């Protein structure tokens, strides 16, 4: 793929839906938080914009764990990219998979042989789960990045209880009733807490032979604490809150192996039919397209204006980019990507067509400012850091809910998700208990 960087100009069909004409053409790869906020902030500008994604929807990944635990439907947290950008007449959407970049010919190359010429190229392909070189773990221990992941986890969780209800083998019963979550970051904490609640509230009265409340939920973290991005006081609260709803938290424990049916950690073999991975991520495809040297996590090192050094006219942002600030790389958070996307768009808006056509405009320096951080633990329980405030418990949980409803794209999604949350809070029921 890297060889593409210096290939002869491609000859495939131009996939840009609208004629670009005299305007400068900004091409954005990826419609996650970074790419989409960039496209939205370029709406109505003098430049033509094309957003390319291999999915037709923007996925609100922070709520994906609720799909995995049967609380929400995929459609509730997915907004069609085309609909989101429908009113921006200068922005096109293309459903397509990128195969490489022809830097000499200034064209994005698609797997179907098409190509999209660009004046400015912005890569925002995001990240995926990383198994520290043990890629064969992925089948047994799916991460939580895509709707397919969430459906797989949901089906396995629900199927485990179904099979537990009819099995007569005590060892199998024990494995089916044991759920292991690897990784003590926000995703791991949210998954472990929600699985415990699914068993304790939603499924509690639905079975005859088993008691779902007896399910073991084990959260394994290699480091010394949960939620390392949060203040110590909130870390301890999260630990207590998880323990209270029945999660076994194991800190300082390294996962040595994951096999179909078992997790081996700290010398112990835990028989389990359900493993969820939330331990590490790496950047998605992108660096290889440019022939750029990625860092240890596959990220493309970028300059303070998010440009890729040595690659004229090309920018990278979000989880795909590595940008150090105050001596440390910026974290892989939706809000980092969204701020970078919006910042880059504002700076590009200010540029003339001529400046973008000529390449390498002067954009200034991006600086990230945290707007707060939050993780939910369970019913009525969350942590929330915003400015000097550290909140926990019910208030943090309400705030978590409001913020996530606010951040969801699409008014209908907001209504639907809010309605389902209220309903679930009142009844404990979950509307999307499908095994498929």
The residues of the shown chain that bind a copy of itself, judged by CB under 8 A, are 13-15, 17-18, 55-57, 72-76, 78, 80, 82-83, 86-87, 92-96, 114, 147-148, 158-159, 162-163, 165-166, 168, 205-209, 410, 412-413, 415-416, 419-420, 423, 427, 429, 431-436
**What is the spatial distance between Cα 435 and Cα 424, in angstroms, rounded to a whole number?**
20
Contact 151, 67 (CB under 8 A): yes
**What is the spatial distance between Cα 383 and Cα 395, in angstroms, rounded to a whole number?**
9
Sort strands 115-117 and 107-110 into parallel, antiparallel or unpaired.
antiparallel
* Surface-to-core class of residue 8, CB atoms within 10 Å of its CB (0-12 exposed, 13-18 middle, 19+ buried): exposed
**C-beta closer to a copy of itself: residue 36 or 336:** 36
One-character DSSP codes across 324-365: EETTEEPP--HHHHHHHHHHHHHHHHTS-HHHHHHS------
**C-beta closer to a copy of itself: residue 99 or 339:** 99
Closest contact distance (angstroms) between CB of 375 and a copy of itself is 25
Closest CA to 4 of 284, 302, 292, 282: 292
Closest contact distance (angstroms) between CB of 413 and a copy of itself is 7
Closest contact distance (angstroms) between CB of 428 and a copy of itself is 11
Closest contact distance (angstroms) between CB of 75 and a copy of itself is 3
**C-beta closer to a copy of itself: residue 322 or 413:** 413
**What is the spatial distance between Cα 141 and Cα 386, in angstroms, rounded to a whole number?**
33
What positions carry a catalytic annotation?
Answer: 190
**C-beta closer to a copy of itself: residue 72 or 283:** 72
Closest contact distance (angstroms) between CB of 155 and a copy of itself is 9
**What is the spatial distance between Cα 397 and Cα 377, in angstroms, rounded to a whole number?**
8
φ and ψ at 113, to 5 degrees? 95, -10
End-to-end CA distance of the chain: 35
**C-beta closer to a copy of itself: residue 241 or 417:** 417
**C-beta closer to a copy of itself: residue 147 or 316:** 147
**C-beta closer to a copy of itself: residue 205 or 360:** 205
The token duo for 25 is 């053409």
**What is the spatial distance between Cα 195 and Cα 39, in angstroms, rounded to a whole number?**
36
Closest contact distance (angstroms) between CB of 382 and a copy of itself is 23
One-character DSSP codes across 31-84: -SHHHHHHHHHHTTSSSEEEEEESSSEEE-GGGHHHHHTTSS-GGGGEEEHHHH
Closest contact distance (angstroms) between CB of 435 and a copy of itself is 5
Name residue 381's beta-bridge partners: 378
């Amino acid at each position: 793929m890297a060889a593409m960087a210096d290939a002869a100009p491609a000859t495939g069909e131009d996939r840009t839906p609208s004629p670009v004409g005299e305007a400068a053409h900004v091409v954005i790869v990826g419609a996650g938080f970074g790419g989409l906020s960039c496209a939205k902030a370029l709406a109505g500008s003098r430049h033509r914009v094309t957003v390319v994604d291999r999915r037709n929807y923007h996925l609100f990944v922070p709520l994906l764990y609720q799909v995995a635990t049967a609380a929400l439907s995929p459609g509730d947290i997915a907004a069609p990219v085309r609909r989101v950008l429908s009113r921006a007449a200068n922005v096109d959407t293309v459903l397509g998979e990128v195969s490489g970049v022809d830097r000499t010919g200034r064209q994005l190359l698609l797997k179907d042989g098409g190509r999209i010429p660009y004046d400015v190229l912005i890569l925002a392909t995001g990240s995926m789960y990383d198994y520290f070189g043990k890629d064969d773990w992925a089948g047994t221990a799916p991460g939580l990045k895509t709707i397919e992941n969430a459906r797989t986890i949901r089906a396995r969780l629900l199927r485990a209880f179904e099979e537990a209800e009819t099995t007569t083998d005590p060892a199998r019963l024990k494995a089916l009733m044991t759920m292991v979550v690897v990784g003590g970051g926000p995703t791991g904490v949210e998954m472990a807490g929600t699985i415990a609640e699914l068993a304790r509230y939603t499924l509690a009265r639905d079975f005859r032979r088993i008691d779902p409340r007896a399910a073991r939920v084990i959260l394994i973290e290699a480091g010394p604490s949960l939620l390392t991005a949060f203040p110590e006081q909130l870390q301890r609260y999260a630990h207590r809150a998880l323990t209270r709803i029945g999660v076994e938290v194991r800190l300082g424990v390294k996962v040595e192996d994951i096999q179909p049916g078992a997790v081996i950690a700290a010398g112990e073999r835990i028989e389990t039919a359900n493993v969820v991975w939330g331990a590490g991520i790496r950047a998605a495809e992108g660096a290889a397209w440019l022939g750029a040297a990625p860092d240890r996590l596959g990220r493309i090192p970028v300059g303070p204006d998010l440009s890729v050094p040595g690659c004229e006219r090309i920018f990278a942002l979000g989880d795909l980019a590595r940008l150090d600030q105050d001596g440390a790389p910026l974290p892989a958070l939706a809000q980092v990507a969204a701020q970078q996307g919006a910042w880059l768009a504002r700076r590009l808006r200010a540029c003339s067509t001529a400046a973008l056509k000529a390449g390498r405009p002067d954009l200034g320096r991006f600086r990230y400012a945290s707007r707060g951080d939050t993780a939910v633990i369970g019913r009525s329980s969350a942590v929330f850091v915003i400015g000097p405030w550290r909140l926990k418990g019910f208030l943090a949980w309400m705030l978590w809910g409001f913020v996530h409803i606010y951040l969801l794209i699409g008014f209908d999604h907001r209504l639907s998700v809010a309605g389902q949350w209220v309903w679930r809070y009142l009844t404990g029921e979950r509307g999307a208990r499908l095994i498929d």
